[in-house]
Amino acid sequence: DAKTTQPPSMDCAEGRAANLPCNHSTISGNEYVYWYRQIHSQGPQYIIHGLKNNETNEMASLIITEDRKSSTLILPHATLRDTAVYYCIVRVDNNNDMRFGAGTRLTVKP
């Protein structure tokens, strides 16, 4: 199973870009990188996913390095409501399990 490593916590100023890193050095060729976030006492919210190309949607951008060993989730203009735990996940390829680790606790400050 490809495992992920994320910093336990990060701060970001409101209105600035939040860049959340994730290392997944053992990722295999057909595994996708997923990002979710979880606001306290709520269900995880899907943000974005990608295989090897950079991806962008209305919530965020995902930058995956060429060797696919790491990625960065970018929230372009962080707001206070973006304060949450952000999870980087690499899909397990023998079932449909989403293996959530401890994630990064992002705190957006005014």
Q: Which residues of the shown chain bind another protein in the complex (CB under 8 A)?
A: 30-32, 34, 36, 41-46, 49, 87, 91, 93, 95-103
d(CA 19, CA 63): 10
Question: Shortest gap between Cβ of 91 and another protein (angstroms)?
Answer: 6
Q: Which residue type does 54 have?
A: N
**From the CB of 73, what's the least distance to another protein, in Å?**
15
* 17 vs 51, beta carbon nearer another protein: 51
Per the listing, tokens 């060797």 go with: 67
Q: Closest distance between another protein and the C-beta of residue 43, in Å? A: 4
Residues 6 or more apart whose CB falls under 8 angstroms from that of 51 comprise 32, 33, 64
Nearest C-alpha neighbor of 42 from the set 11, 80, 89, 83: 83
CB of 85 to another protein, least distance (A): 9
Q: Which is nearer to another protein, 16 or 97 (CB)?
A: 97
Q: Which is nearer to another protein, 29 or 110 (CB)?
A: 29
Judged by beta carbon, residue 8 or residue 110, the one nearer another protein is: 8
Residues 79 and 107: their CA atoms lie apart, in Å, by 10
How far does the chain reach from its first CA to its final CA, in angstroms?
39
